[in-house]
Structure 1
Amino acid sequence: MSDTAVLPPPAPAPAPPTRPRGPLRQLGVDTGYSLLALPLAVAAFVVVVTGLSAGAGLLVVWIGVAVLAGTLLAARGLAGVERAWLPAVLGRELPRPAYLPAGEGGAVRRLTAPLRDPQCWLDALHGLLRFPFAVLAFVVTVTWWAGALGGLTYGLWDWALPDASTDPDNSDLLELLGLESSSWSRIFSYTLVGAVFAVLLPFVVRGAALLQAQLGRALLTSRAAAHAEIGRLTEGRDAAVAAEAVALRRLERDIHDGPQQHLVRLGMDLSRAQRQLDRDPAAAQATLDEAATLAHEALEELRALSRGIAPPVLADRGLAAALAAVAARSPVAVELAVDLPQERLAPVVENTAYFVISEALANVAKHSGATRAEVVVVAAGPALRVAVEDDGHGGAVLAPGHGLAGLADRLRAVDGVLTVDSPPGGPTRLVAEVPCGS
């Protein structure tokens, strides 16, 4: 069994960034991308233009369908090479599209699978549109590298160039600008120009690479990102439905095992007291005393259940006051630290945080064997961070059917994340992050 269990949200909404690179390494990545992209762009442009033209022309004899399908498959392969480059250039992982499978059926259906896949057509469109961007990035990258390296090293090879003294028709940049030209003035001027190119080189090459990479991101991964977001929302909805179903079943069980039993017993005691009233008033009074005790216990249980659903103090006075009440009722000593903004958080955020903390403290009291617990609630940036730690025996896991799985579902429904660190022997630390929204 692992000591640490983590249940992440179904799809991270933005993709996690990769490890930051140093400027020289990033310059090398951008340069390599811009230089190697040109031959790939030329190949993709030629394949797509030739294949689509030939396929469209041959559709009248049906062989064009096979040509178009083969063209789209080739564009898909070249687009895959581009997708492999994009994370290194953009600095973050990108979702990969799920292509339409060929599936079962006849040969015609399998053959036309690429023609029915929108992403294959986006790959072909990328092969067409990428070509001018690749040419621009290649030219800019080569020009800036040549300017930087040529200028900085000009003093090493100035002697090898012809000048006006040896060739009257030859003029350098200074002479074209009407300035006096000498060996030292040329070296100084061109070295200065090279230094300017070198300073601007990382920014210019980065901009050229990003311009081309953003086109690839838009055409090659945006549809996959949209599908991932839809999947994430669907899983969140399913988790919300599951969490509510579990809460309703638990509420039904608690009402059946608690107040309902007391009320049934109360009805029986009142009927018995009514029969005893004439023949044995003393016994009737004792029965009525028991009935009053049962009524009080049923009322207390109903109040406890209502606090678990939607405590009035949470709606009236806010999350801090509601958590103070939860900590005061806990049979385990609780140290509470709350750092919230002055304005109230959204009701769904407060309700989720209250539910998580109250359930976590209930689990601490029932299962952990702890003598103390610590609850820390901090509104950190776009998320509300909740941490519950106890000094119990540990061993808590996020497994289906356990109470922590219900907390995870409740958090997943609001795009939250639950992390549980509970090695055998303790301590147990539960951390929940609830997005606060915009």
Structure 2
Amino acid sequence: MTTQAFLTRSPLARLVRQVGIDTQYVLIGFPIGLLTVSLFMALFFTGLGTLIIWVGIPILIATLMTARGFAMLERARIGPVFGQRLPHPYYKKAAEGGFVRQALTTLGDGQSWLDMLHGMFRFIPSTISFSLVITWWAGAIGGLTVVLWDWSIPHPEDNTDLPELLGMGDGTATRLLFYFACGVFFLGTLYPVVRASALLEAWFARGLLSGVNELREQVAEANAARTVAQQQKAAAVSAEANALRRLERDIHDGPQQRLVRLAMDLGRAEQQFSTDPEAARATVAEALTQTRETLDELRALSRGIAPPILVDRGLQAALTALAGRSLVPVELDATLAERLEPTVESTAYFVVAEALTNVAKHSHANEVQVSVKRNATGLIVSIADDGVGGASVAKGHGLAGLDDRVRAAGGVLDVSSPAGGGTRLTAALPV
């Protein structure tokens, strides 16, 4: 195993690396904390005391801007401790105006005051963390190397009889063993102590320097998620309503009309049996034809809702059958190794079916290319034709309902259809 692979894979190596990161964070943070507390205390109270003669305003602005610089440095230092980069928070800016307007806006920026507050009080966790880290490192190194330096320190107690009275034998050997045992203890507890010390200082800094911004981002993400959920709900309701209206229209225009005619034909045949049997047979034969055509239309409608082949054999087989029934030649590329969620398969099938229907009705295309591929984020469905173009997802157009269906499933629909340049419809569905 190479050195790089060892540092990447070995738990012990990662532990040692983290101890080094935490140690340097605490050791460097202590002098920075002493500098900032003395600097910001002096500047802040000087500016506060001279506000009455207006000199304090530029002093306070300079204090806040200096605190912002130290805060940026601290955010960069915190990143390795947490193993992630902290985002840059939002600072208030004037909508317009020059340097003076921008500088005065700093006085009303809450994050800038939090930066200064951190600079003034960071020495408290820094001092605690620094004391613990120095103590544990000194105890570990000193205890484990006691044999290298113990000889240089005078030990008057070695001339006494105390070790013999306590039954410990030679005083030097006992002392060395005790110091070495202390070194083992400090080394064994070095990682948790150093890690806790670094986290104490880092969490204090994170709470003041990025906590408000992180809370603001969480609220924004929650609002965005709520908005998306509301949009998906509205799209699902709209898609369901469109599907029901379409189904009602198709049944009314097709099977219902044929069933009405079938009833009339059977009634006429009943009257003809006693007077003209041959005409009655002809009427019954025509009624049988109407029955078969009605069944075919009902099967076609059922395929548009939930085709049995999709439920039984999956999306790839259903798309293959759909391409075979298309009036326009279809080049299908849909190799799926496994079954997907029923909602995803149904939506993908509906996208392809609706797109092929629109191609047959409006595009005057000679060929259609259908591609369905699975990637790391979801399912990508693409339908492209060489027709006249001009398709749109705007309300009132044929693809508006399709867009609602895709958004209801949490996906995104994109349509590129320049006039005379064909149409490419792409749906991205989450899996």
- Specify the SS of the correspondent of 2:189: helix
- Specify the SS of the correspondent of 2:97: coil
- Structure 2 Cα separation of the partners of residues 22 and 130 of structure 1: 28
Q: CA deviation at 1:238?
A: 3.8
Counterpart of 2:177 in structure 1 is: 188
- Structure 2 Cα separation of the partners of residues 149 and 39 of structure 1: 23
Counterpart of 1:416 in structure 2 is: none
Is the Cα contact below 8 Å between 2:239 and 2:404 reproduced in 1? no
Counterpart of 2:410 in structure 1 is: 411
Q: Which runs of 5+ in 1 are unaligned?
A: 1-18, 309-320, 339-352, 375-384, 395-399, 414-429, 434-438
Is the Cα contact below 8 Å between 1:151 and 1:191 reproduced in 2? yes
Counterpart of 1:208 in structure 2 is: 197
Q: CA deviation at 1:234?
A: 3.1
Counterpart of 2:360 in structure 1 is: none
Counterpart of 1:9 in structure 2 is: none
Distance 1:82 1:373, change over 3 A: closer
Task: Give the AA of the match of 2:108.
Answer: R
Q: CA deviation at 1:37?
A: 0.4
Matches within 5 A, 1:130-279: 130-164=122-156, 182-244=171-233, 247=236, 259-260=248-249, 263-264=252-253
- CA-to-aligned-CA distance 1:297-332 (integer Å, 9 cap, x gap): 887777677769xxxxxxxxxxxx9x9569499355
Q: What number of residue pairs does the alignment pair up?
A: 350
Counterpart of 1:51 in structure 2 is: 43
Q: CA deviation at 1:131?
A: 1.0
- Specify the SS of the correspondent of 1:143: helix
2:91 maps to which of 55, 78, 99: 99
Q: CA deviation at 1:214?
A: 1.3
Is the Cα contact below 8 Å between 2:258 and 2:290 reproduced in 1? yes
Q: CA deviation at 1:85?
A: 1.7
Distance 1:217 1:292, change over 3 A: farther
Q: State the TM-score, normalized to the length of structure 2.
A: 0.62
- Structure 1 Cα separation of the partners of residues 109 and 75 of structure 2: 18
Task: Give the AA of the match of 1:61.
Answer: I
- Structure 1 Cα separation of the partners of residues 313 and 229 of structure 2: 24
Q: CA deviation at 1:272?
A: 9.8
Is the Cα contact below 8 Å between 1:326 and 1:358 reproduced in 2? no
Is the Cα contact below 8 Å between 2:67 and 2:112 reproduced in 1? yes
Q: Which runs of 5+ in 2 are unaligned?
A: 1-9, 273-278, 322-335, 357-367, 385-391, 394-398, 413-427
- Structure 1 Cα separation of the partners of residues 404 and 31 of structure 2: 52
Matches within 5 A, 1:387-426: 407=406, 410-411=409-410
Counterpart of 1:88 in structure 2 is: 80
Work out which of the two has the higher radius of gyration on C-alpha atoms and give 1 or 2: 2
Is the Cα contact below 8 Å between 2:40 and 2:119 reproduced in 1? yes
- Structure 2 Cα separation of the partners of residues 411 and 47 of structure 1: 53
- Structure 2 Cα separation of the partners of residues 60 and 178 of structure 1: 76
Distance 1:37 1:104, change over 3 A: same
- Structure 2 Cα separation of the partners of residues 113 and 357 of structure 1: 54
Task: Give the AA of the match of 1:74.
Answer: T
Distance 1:199 1:299, change over 3 A: same
Task: Give the AA of the match of 2:94.
Answer: A
Counterpart of 1:123 in structure 2 is: 115
Distance 1:55 1:301, change over 3 A: farther
CA RMSD, Structure 1 to Structure 2 (Å): 5.3
Is the Cα contact below 8 Å between 2:47 and 2:59 reproduced in 1? yes
- Structure 2 Cα separation of the partners of residues 393 and 140 of structure 1: 65
Distance 1:302 1:130, change over 3 A: farther
- Structure 1 Cα separation of the partners of residues 65 and 232 of structure 2: 43
Q: CA deviation at 1:23?
A: 0.9
Counterpart of 1:33 in structure 2 is: 25
- CA-to-aligned-CA distance 1:20-48 (integer Å, 9 cap, x gap): 87111111001000100011111221232
Task: Give the AA of the match of 2:194.
Answer: V
Q: CA deviation at 1:80?
A: 1.3
- Specify the SS of the correspondent of 2:107: helix
Is the Cα contact below 8 Å between 2:233 and 2:408 reproduced in 1? no
Is the Cα contact below 8 Å between 2:74 and 2:205 reproduced in 1? yes
Q: Which moved more, 1:82-91 or 1:253-262?
A: 253-262
Q: Which has the higher contact order (CA 8 A, sep 6+)?
A: 1
Task: Give the AA of the match of 1:357.
Answer: E
Task: Give the AA of the match of 2:137.
Answer: W
- Structure 1 Cα separation of the partners of residues 157 and 92 of structure 2: 70
Q: State the TM-score, normalized to the length of structure 1.
A: 0.61
Distance 1:305 1:234, change over 3 A: farther
Counterpart of 1:357 in structure 2 is: 345
Is the Cα contact below 8 Å between 1:140 and 1:205 reproduced in 2? yes
- Structure 1 Cα separation of the partners of residues 314 and 199 of structure 2: 52
Task: Identify the structure with the greater helix proportion.
Answer: 2
Q: CA deviation at 1:410?
A: 4.0
- Specify the SS of the correspondent of 1:411: coil
- CA-to-aligned-CA distance 1:125-156 (integer Å, 9 cap, x gap): 22233211101111111111111111111111
- Structure 1 Cα separation of the partners of residues 163 and 121 of structure 2: 40
Is the Cα contact below 8 Å between 1:259 and 1:302 reproduced in 2? no
Is the Cα contact below 8 Å between 2:143 and 2:182 reproduced in 1? yes
Task: Give the AA of the match of 2:32.
Answer: L
- CA-to-aligned-CA distance 1:79-125 (integer Å, 9 cap, x gap): 11111122211223433312112331366542222222221122222
Distance 1:122 1:178, change over 3 A: farther
